[in-house]
């Protein structure tokens, strides 16, 4: 509460403007909650009601079939044939994989990205800093599809972007290669450095006055200690935001895990769950030739008992971990406020 004056809060004019503010924010919140309400309402509709146009505001009769399905999916209840029609392994297996990958990536990504951003913001100067900056964010400007195949080949035969391991010239022995394909590392390692979080951290570290760092240097702190003892405590909020984006990015990624994982030991939930949703959407067809096979394929899933209410439930399941992560991170965001309050 920094913008409103500390004194004179009881003045009618001030009060009025404060309440205007509150109303504005609440209207925004109501609008924002609409999609979520809609998702939940749809998930409670019976299958045929879900596609009715215009969509009904409330379910005409509440149908919890989709949620029962979700419950069975999450508890891997294999007496429900629909569960096995949708997923090959118990959901918990995919969930565990996703968790390992997202948390693994998070733990490695935050320090490595933050160190690089800190160095770029506070330790480097002039041209070097500018080139390093472009080096780190340059790949953000490349559509991911273009590097999909070379990067995928690297997971097979690092450091060679080739489908087969090449032979050492003049011998019959293949080069020693590192293969991370179909392991958790295939998801974790390429995701560790995040250009977006680099930007985020750098933007944040740039707001820390140089004078604070300078003062610490004069007091004789090593750069690592300055980072640990001074910058880190000030940066709890930005770490919280970065953790949230990193977790979400790994958790939601689809195309990359689809090609670099195949066994039940490494496949994340997106490949198992989202591929169903993707197929049903059948979006973006622009010509008659495109539609036929896609629509035959889509029909097969619908026949297996997956309808829009079920898809809503699946999207909700997919969102819950992100949502929890979001709640945790916003706790730390608020902690940042308390820390500042102590200053």
Partner 1 sequence: MSSVPTAERLPTDAPLEMPEKQTQRHPGRRRRAALLFVLPAFLLQLTWGWYPFFVAFLLSFTDARVRGPISWTGLASYERILGDPLVSKAFRVTLQYATMEIILTFTIPILVAILLMEMPRRAMRWMMVLWFLPLSPISGAILWRYMYNAQYGLMQAIATGLGFPEQQFLNSEPQVLFWLIFPAILFYGPGLIYMAALQSIPQSYYEAAEVEGAGFWRKIWTISLPRLRPIIVLMLLFSIIGSMQQFDWAQLMTGGQPNGASRTIVMYIYGTLIPALRYADAVALSVVLFLVISTLVILFRIFVNDDPDT
Partner 2 sequence: MQTTRKYRSLLTIIAVMAVSVLAFSITPVTAQQQITIKTAGQWPFVEVPTEAQIESDPFYALYDQIVQDWLAENPNVTIELIDFDPWNQQGLLTAIAGGTAPTAWSATVLGGYNMQNTRAAFRQGLAADVTELYAEYEMDNLVATYIQDYNANWIVDERMYAVPVNFNPGNSIVYRRDLVNELGLEHPVAGWTWDDFAELAAALTTDERWGAAMPPWGMTWYLRSYGYGALPTAINIVPDPSTGWNWRYDFTHDAEGMAQRIGEYRAMIFDDRSLLTDVNMFDQQVEQALLDGTAAMGQLHAGFLRNRAPGKFIDVAQQNEMALEEMWGFAPFPVGTAPEIQHPFGDAVAFNPDLSDAELAAAFDLYHYMWLGEGYERLVQGIYEQTNDLQRIWGEFPTLTGNTSFEGVEGGPADAWGETLASEFEIAANRPIWPNVADFQPAEANPAPSLLAYNDAISRWTNTPGDLNLVAEIAEMETNINAELRVFESSVADEDFVTGLVNYYDVLNTFYETHAPDFYENTWLPWYNESIVPVIE
Contacting partner 1 within 130-159 (CB under 8 A): 130, 132, 134-143, 145-147, 149-151, 154, 158-159
60 touching partner 2, by CB under 8 A: no
Q: Are 186 and 268 in contact (CB under 8 A)?
A: no
DSSP bridge partners of 183: none
56 binds partner 1 (CB under 8 A): no
Residues 268-307 touching partner 2, rule: CB under 8 A, are: 271-272, 275, 278-280, 282-283, 285-300, 302-303, 305, 307
Binding mask 126-165 toward partner 2 (x if CB under 8 A, else -) reads -------------------x--xx--xx--x-x----xx-
Q: Does 112 bind partner 2 (CB under 8 A)?
A: yes
Site for partner 2 in 227-246 (CB under 8 A): none
Angstrom distance (rounded) from CA 88 to CA 307: 19
Distance CA 111, CA 224 (A): 12
Write out the DSSP string of 283-335.
TT--SHHHHHHHHHHHHHHHHTT--HHHHHHHHHHHHHHHHHHHHHHHHHHHH
Contact 44, 63 (CB under 8 A): yes
Contact between 168 and partner 1 by CB under 8 A: the answer reads: no
179 binds partner 2 (CB under 8 A): yes
- Of 2, 79, 169, 296, the one binding partner 1 (CB under 8 A) is 2
Query: Under the criterion CB under 8 A, does residue 40 sit at the interface with partner 1?
Result: no
Buried/exposed code over 93-105 (b: 16+ C-beta within 10 A; e: otherwise): bbbebbbbbbbbb
Interface pick for partner 2 out of 9, 88, 130, 340 (rule CB under 8 A):
88
Running DSSP on this structure, what letter comes out for residue 124?
A: -
Among 2, 35, 79, 170, binds partner 2 (CB under 8 A): 79
Distance, CA of 117 to CA of 132 (rounded, Å):
10
Is residue 326 within the footprint of partner 1 (CB under 8 A)?
yes
Q: Binding of partner 1 at residue 343 (CB under 8 A)?
A: yes
């Amino acid at each position: 509460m920094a913008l409103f004056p500390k004194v004179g809060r009881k003045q009618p004019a001030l009060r009025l403007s404060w309440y205007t503010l509150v109303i504005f924010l609440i209207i925004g919140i109501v609008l924002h909650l609409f999609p979520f309400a809609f998702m939940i309402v749809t998930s409670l509709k019976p299958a045929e009601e879900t596609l009715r146009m215009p969509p009904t505001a409330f379910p005409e009769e509440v149908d919890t079939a989709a949620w029962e399905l979700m419950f069975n999916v999450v508890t891997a209840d294999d007496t429900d044939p629909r569960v096995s029609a949708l997923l090959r392994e118990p959901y918990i297996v995919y969930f565990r994989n996703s968790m390992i990958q997202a948390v693994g990536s998070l733990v490695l990504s935050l320090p490595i990205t933050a160190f690089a951003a800190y160095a770029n913001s506070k330790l480097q100067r002039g041209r070097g800093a500018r080139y390093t900056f472009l080096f780190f964010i340059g790949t953000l400007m490349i559509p991911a599809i273009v590097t999909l195949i070379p990067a995928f080949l690297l997971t097979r035969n690092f450091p060679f972007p080739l489908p087969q391991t090449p032979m050492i010239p003049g011998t019959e022995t293949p080069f020693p290669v590192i293969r991370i394909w179909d392991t958790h590392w295939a998801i974790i390692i390429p995701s560790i450095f995040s250009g977006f979080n680099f930007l985020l951290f750098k933007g944040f570290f740039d707001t820390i006055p140089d004078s604070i760092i300078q003062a610490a240097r004069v007091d004789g702190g090593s750069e690592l200690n300055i980072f640990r003892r001074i910058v880190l405590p000030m940066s709890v909020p930005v770490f919280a935001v970065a953790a949230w984006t990193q977790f979400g990015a790994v958790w939601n990624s689809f195309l990359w895990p689809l090609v670099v994982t195949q066994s039940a030991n490494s496949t994340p939930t997106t490949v198992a769950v989202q591929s169903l949703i993707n197929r049903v959407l059948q979006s973006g067809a622009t010509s008659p030739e495109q539609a036929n096979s896609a629509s035959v394929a889509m029909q097969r899933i619908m026949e297996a008992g997956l309808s829009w209410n079920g898809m809503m439930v699946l999207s909700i399941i997919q969102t819950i971990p992100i949502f929890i992560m979001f709640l945790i991170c916003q706790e730390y965001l608020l902690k940042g406020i308390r820390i500042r309050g102590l200053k």
